[in-house]
Amino acid sequence: MSTHFTKDHEWIRVEGDEAVVGITAYAAEQLGDVVFVELPATGKSFGQGDEMAVVESVKAASEVYAPVSGEIVAVNDALEDAPQTVNEAPTGDGWFVRIKLADKSQLDGLMDEAAYKQHIA
List % helix, strand, coil for the chain (3-state, nearest 5). 25, 40, 35
pLDDT category, 70, cuts 50, 70, 90? very high
**57 - beta bridge partners?**
34
Question: Residue 87 half-sphere exposure, CB side, CA atoms within 13 Å?
Answer: 14
pTM of the model: 0.96
Q: Provide CATH code, domain 2-108.
A: 2.40.50.100
pLDDT tens digits, one per residue of 13-45: 999 999 999 999 999 999 999 999 999 999 999
pLDDT of residue 1: 73
pLDDT tens digits, one per residue of 90-117: 999 999 999 999 999 999 999 999 999 9
- Mean of the per-residue pLDDT values of the chain: 97
